[in-house]
Amino acid sequence: MAEYAAPAAVEIVADQAKEYASPYLRYFFRYGEIVEDFKNQREALELKKERVKIRVDEAERQNELIHKDVDNWLTSAEKELKETQNLKDEIDRVKCFKWCPKWGWRYSLSKKLAEKIPIISKLLETSNFAQVGYRRPLQGIEFIRSTDFMHSKSSKSAFNQIMEAINAKGVNMIGLQGMPGVGKTTLAKEVGKHAREQKFFDKVVMFTMSQNADINKIQDKVADIFGLKFETSSQEGKAEELFRSMQRVKKILVIVDDLWEEFKLEDIGIPFGDDHKGCKILLTTRQQQVCSKMKCQKEIQLGILSKDEAWVLFRDKAGLEDDCSTLNDVAKEVAAECKGLPLAIVVVAKALKGESLNGWRDANQRFKDSTHLYDEEVLGGVLEPLKLSYDYLKKGINQMTGINDIQICFLLCSLFPEDEEIDTEILIMCGIGVGLFPNFYSIEDKRKKIVEALKKLQKSGLLLETDGADTIRIHDVIRDFAHWLTSTGENRFMIKDTLKEWPHMDESYTAIALWNCSSIINIFPDKVEFSKLKTLFLEGERKRNRDDFLVVLGTFFEEMKALQVLLLKRVSFSLKGFPSLPNLKTLRCYDCMLKNFSSSLTNMRSLEILALIATEIDEISEELVKLSALKYLRLSGVGVEREMNIPPNLVSRLTSLQELHVIPKNNLNLLELKSLSRLTALSLRLSANQIPLEDFMFPKLQRYDIVGQYYSSDQEAFRRLAIQDFSSSLSAFNNLFCNVEALSLRNVGGQKNIVPSMDEMGVNELTSLQLKSCNDMEFLIDTKKDQGSTVAFSNLVELIIESMASLKGLCYGVSPTRFLQNLKEVIIKDCEELQVIFQIDKLSEKMKCQTPLLSNLTILRLHSLPKLKRIWEVKPSHRAIASLQSLKVVSIESCDNLKTIFSPCLALSMLHLQQLYISYCDRLEQVIGFGQEDEIIENDCLLYCWPKLRVLRIKDCESLKYISTNTLIQSLEYVYIANCHQLVQIYNMEQNIVLPGLGSQEYLTNLTSLELRSLPKLKYMWNGPLVHLQYLVIWNCNSLEHLSNIKDQSSLFLPKLKDVRISGCENLKYLCSSQGLPCLEAIDIKDCPRLIQIFNMENNKDGFGLQNDSSLCCWPKLRILRIEFCRNLKYVCANTWTQGLQSLESVYIRHCSQLIQVFNMEQNKHAQDIVLPELGSQGFPLLESIYLKNCPQLLQVFSSTEERDVIDDHILLNVPFLKNLEVSNCPQISCFIIQAQLIEDLVLSNVGNSRQLCNTDVPVLNEGCIVVGNQEEVFQVQGGYSFSTIKLLELRNLFEVRVIWNDFAQIVTLENLTTLTLSGCNKLRYIFSPMMARSLSHLVDLFIEWCEEIERLILAKDQVSSSSSNGDTSLQPMSFPNLKRIVVINCKNLNSLFPFGFVPVLPKLETLIVTRNSKLEQVFELEEKVEVVAEEEMKFDKLEWLSLEKLPGLIHFCPKGYHFVFPAMIELEVRDCPKLATGFFIDSQEFVHCKTKATQLVEQVAVEESTTVRNAIFNENIDWSRGGGESQLPHIT
């Protein structure tokens, strides 16, 4: 090309040069060719890249994933095109030179282009892609969309349990069960989403199994997730293809949602179990039995939301703001109606979203009136899934009603009030009354079927369990659903609560429940016509007043001929009683008044169930006999008498009776029971004298509850006998012993054992046995005559024995087969003769093949067994047949002869022990040990493992030496040991034992609380760090030197320690390493005389702690530091980062004679201060209290290396919230300055070294501060800083202090000061300025002693500089309105105490003591020198004690011209005051007076002076007290 042509000379040279300098000269002479080649290649790459990009975009639109090599090629192509764009631009710039090119530039550009051409060529060669993408595998739409998962307490718990089960080995089937609408599906989706995101599984698939599931659709969905295209069309063929395909994937999670019944997942083609160990199944279901049938290894229950959680979800779904608006108040009421059911919350909230306030109020009212049930928009989404559950109850169709018996049970539950726990016995009565299970005749059989139906409803999620075994509950939303079901159709129900007016009703209802009906209901009808009504519940008002009954006329029931069930509560009937109710089968009255009831019985001839509970009737009469169909009779608290009076021979004629329950004390003749051939259930409270002396025996019964007259339980039991105060034969109960489940014998004599004396068959259905004060009983069972052939106590779960004077053991002879194999709880108290409890050495051969003895024992409590030597008697040969594998709680108290608790062979099995309590066992030597010589065997196992022991509490065991030797108790959380004076060691591992998968077991890694008290021989406790310890208390452990016996004590650290309290540990040298205490909040240590450092910082031989300054203490949460009587303590911690004490609130240290510094800042090996300057100096922002007393070597509390924290060698502490400061008897302490604006209590006594400090100048600061140290001034006051918060000020032995406040004291106000004490401040000349004195409105106590230089308490006006004057303030009269006590002693230069004006200066003064003040001339000095014209009387109404002693210069007590009166004076002392011109006397009321002699008096006062002053006592000692006998003071009338 022309623009690149060169001169001819150049071309010739170029041709010749090719042969000698190629390829370098080529860059000069082939420049044009290189440029052309580059441009062509680059243009081709651009075009190719665009074509590939178009194909990639198309593939992504088709939801394909792009092949990685295509992605890489595009990235490389884009990179090259970007980089070569600069070269292309450079080519264009070269063109401008044409015939005069720059050869260097051209050479460089040509070289760059030549290097790029092969790279571009390579990209072009590799650009021919057959396919750019491939089909993206499906993830499952459930896991892509948001799950709307709410993190509630219940869902979090269930989620964590599911994830734990998913990751557990051997678990492949997990069941999530919950009621409809509780959020099972949402939770399952969240689990799947989390598992996919965390890549726990290679594939996660979820599908729904409805009641009529389409298997083909499910198979297609699963195949899509696995990218499988079926080759076959049959269901079986697809299943096989899926099966093989899924087996090739290593880890799979399959979520089966909404499973209704057992289903073989193999029918879909899902392999699991042995076919695929990596496949986990999570199923959700409403019915618990589905989990059981599917053999779920883990079943998880999902509960409802709490009230707060429900509101948060409701508010979010309804789009409401989080405020306190009226709309929100109404919305909260609506949300509460959903009762925590997520589905209901979401549906209702979305339906009402955007509604006005009136709309919300309308919805709320509809909820309260239950009319919301007819609003499909509000509850339509909730009712449909519940209807599915209801319709699924298919079995047992009742031909009479068209619905099955289980559905009727469910509807009956909906008749009860909201949130009520429903008694199953009441439901049984109602169910029998409405004709449930008609093919079963007996009451007991019907009861079993109804209970079975209720359990099925619970498992299906339509009913809820309660804490009680005999009650159930229905969720309010499901109750509303039942009401919706019964709002139309043949079975119409009406339920009303808190009825105040009679509702409008038609006659089509079959069941009506009216609860809490007001006793003043308006227009309560005399008669209503309900021809179809079969069930009626009627309850009066729920008030405590016993007389507030709902009054109902008997005619009210006349037109209820179809009525089958009638439940009445707090109802009173009129005189006419019941009308004819020919179909009534069940009548239950609770807390009612039924007049003429006996005469009404003839109108209820079909009655089968009659229950009268706490109900007043006229009498129990012969009319009962007319109820020929009566099968069930319950009488409890009937009538007004304490004892129920049953007519003779009445019960014997009720021949149809199957169940008789007479609960209160009664006069029933037991012989009448012989006539009741159908009787299967009996409840009685009887006394011993009711049992006939002749041959009588209770009939065989299926259920009974027969208890003594004074038995304290109100709860009925299934098969219970409680026999009390019985000394004759128990043969009357022989038919009951064979199947009794709960047996209680109290004060029953004549029985040496239970088996065979009471039952030869071994009471094998007995689950609970309680024995008390049966003083003839020696054993539970005697097998001497039958060597081991008996099966006895095989189902006993609970054994409680108390005060059995003759009890020697549980079994006499060889233990029978299955003896106590189900025992779970044992409590034995106050059995004086008991020596051994479990004799495991006496076992039959059959026993050795059974489940290990005691393997179900969970709780063991032994108390006051003085002769007990061994709990277990186990021979080595019997170790395999005894196990404590279920034992959780052991409590042993006051067993004085016990030497050991557990034998070694039993200790090995205690893998579930959680709590161990031992106290007052004086001879106990060890917890685990051999109880007798023949138990000791060679090479017995040395390692015992109690991995779940959490609580260990031992006290007052005088002989105990070891608690756990070679025992793994690493799960301990709480340890309390006290008053074990022989205890040497708590936890000892003779060797460091490592278990596979567990690592070293020597550390108590879970211990959070450790309390040790009065263990004088304890030397150390454990072998490692307590990484979770929070609370540590050690008292009076005199031998304790270290907390651990590890060699390197510096590595002992307690990273979660919060609270440390140590007292009376004479040999303790230090606690632990100071490192890693980020949680430490409180330190309280006293009486540890050898304690050198609380936290050890001694360097090891390698210079530990100085290599990288790792020893720096940082306690960011430390609030309280309290140390007392630690005479060798030098440092709390040697190296402290002061800025790591930002939470410090209180420092209290006293009687630490060697303490040098509390927090010491050392230097590292480079002589650099150990600080973290980037945090700056923040002072101590939370510090409120500093107390330092009797620390003679203390130099510093806090040191600082920050320049702005040190002013002229004085440490400046910024403590903005400091309220209390006391520094006493710390003579070596360095001066420090405190900026504390809120100080309330300040005590400084004997601080600072006068030789060092007397010439030291304190710097002037910009803010007011307090100088701690023996300086010339205590308070340095600057601009507006008044110290007005001070309440208590005490300054002692501050020999260099000249002023308390500096020259700017006029700005100090002390309006809150209540107590001022000054002692030993020898250079102090005055205390207050006049203005300051006038602010002392709350001063109560003033104590001044040994202040030798003080001349005045209050500076005289002429001594105050003009700059200090404050205008009119100085003109205000001086007064101390609250000052009660004044003591001034040994102030030899003091001239006067108080200025005196025209107002009462000390109106509340109670005590005034002035002693040994040699220059004091007057106590009260007039403020102004004015001429006294007439005598002024001044009363001191509160002054009780006045003492003036050794005052040689005192002239005036009261000023001249004044007359003081002391009405309340009790004691007056005046001694050694030779110059005193003030005289004292008393008047007729025994009021003490005083006056001062005047040198010149006006004439009109002379007469009065002659009659009073002349007779007063002057210059004499006075010791007067009121009521002290003859008075020393003259009486002046």
What are the pLDDT digits (tens) for 843-864? 555 555 567 788 899 999 999 9
Residue 211 clears pLDDT 60, i.e. is over it: yes
CA 422 to each of CA 27, 407, 414, 418, 1054: distance values in angstroms, whole numbers, following the listed order: 101, 17, 10, 10, 52
pLDDT bracket for residue 956 (50, 70, 90) = very high
If we measure between CA atoms, which residue out of 1479, 1422, 1473 comes closest to residue 1449?
Answer: 1473
**Predicted confidence (pLDDT) per residue in 1421-1443, tens digit:** 776 655 556 778 888 889 999 99
Q: CA 84 to CA 723: how far, in whole Å?
A: 105
Most confident of 290-304, 379-393, 520-534: 290-304
Name the percent of the chain lying above pLDDT 90.
Answer: 22
Span 1246-1263, average pLDDT? 49
Whether residue 88 contacts residue 117, with contact meaning beta carbons closer than 8 Å, is answered with no
Mean pLDDT, range 156-167, rounded to an integer: 88
792 within 8 A of 819, measured Cβ to Cβ: yes
Describe the strand order of the beta sheet including 900-902 as a list of residue ranges.
Answer: 900-902, 926-928, 962-965, 985-988
- The answer on pLDDT for 1031 being more than 80 is yes
Q: Is the confidence at residue 101, as pLDDT, over 60? A: no
pLDDT tens digits for 1201-1236?
A: 444 444 455 667 778 888 899 989 988 887 777 777
CA–CA dist 203, 138 (Å, integer) = 10
What per-residue confidence (pLDDT) applies to 145? 54
> For 708-757, what is each residue's pLDDT tens digit?
877 766 666 789 999 988 877 888 888 998 899 999 999 998 888 988 88
Three-class secondary structure of residue 745 per DSSP: strand
Query: What are the tens digits of pLDDT across the range 271-281?
Result: 888 888 889 99
Cα separation values, 1055 from 1005, 1034, 1058, 1074, Å: 11, 18, 9, 10
DSSP per residue, 1218-1261: --EEEEEEETTPPPEEEE-TT--EEEEEEES-HHHHTTPPPPP-
Using CA atoms, how far apart are residues 1348 and 1386, in angstroms rounded to an integer? 7
Judged by DSSP in three states, 1061 sits in strand
Q: For residue 249, is pLDDT > 50?
A: yes
282 closest CA partner among 196, 213, 219, 216: 196
Beta bridge pairs of residue 422: 472
pLDDT at position 538 is: 92
Average pLDDT, whole number, for the chain?
Answer: 78
Per-range mean pLDDT, top range of 497-506, 676-685, 750-759, 1227-1236: 676-685
CA distance 970 to 962: 17
Q: Is the pLDDT of residue 1530 over 80?
A: no
Average pLDDT over residues 527-537: 89
Q: Per-residue confidence at 1360, pLDDT binned at 50, 70, 90?
A: low
pTM, rounded to two decimals = 0.70
Per-residue pLDDT, 1174: 31
Instruction: Look at residue 938 in the predicted model and tell me its pLDDT.
Output: 45
874 against 275, higher pLDDT: 275
What is the CA angle 82-83-87, rounded to 5? Answer: 110
Asked if residue 6 has pLDDT above 70, the reply is no
Question: pLDDT digit string (tens) for 313-330?
Answer: 788 878 887 776 778 888
Specify which residues 1167 forms β-bridges with. none
In Å, how far from its chain's centre is CA 1237? 38
Which tokens is 1344 given? 């001044």
In this predicted structure, which of 1397-1401, 1463-1467, 1521-1525 has the lowest mean pLDDT?
1397-1401
* Contact call for residues 1004 and 1026 (beta carbons, < 8 A): yes
User: What are the angstrom distances between the C-alpha of 530 and each of 160, 242, 521, 526, 560?
Assistant: 54, 62, 20, 13, 5
Tokens of 699: 């009939």
pLDDT at 691 over 60: yes
pLDDT at 997 over 50: no
Under DSSP, the state recorded for 26 is: H
For 422, the 3-state DSSP assignment is: strand
Read off the pLDDT of each residue in 882-899 and give the average, rounded to a whole number.
92
pLDDT at 660 over 90: yes
Query: What proportion of the chain, given as a percentage, has pLDDT over 70?
Result: 76
The whole-angstrom separation of Cα 870 and Cα 329 is 65
Mean pLDDT to the nearest integer, 30-58: 82
Choice among 787-801, 1127-1141, 1465-1479 with the minimum mean pLDDT: 1127-1141
Instruction: Please state, in angstroms and rounded to a whole number, the distance separating the CA atoms of residues 224 and 207.
Output: 12
pLDDT at position 385, please? Answer: 65
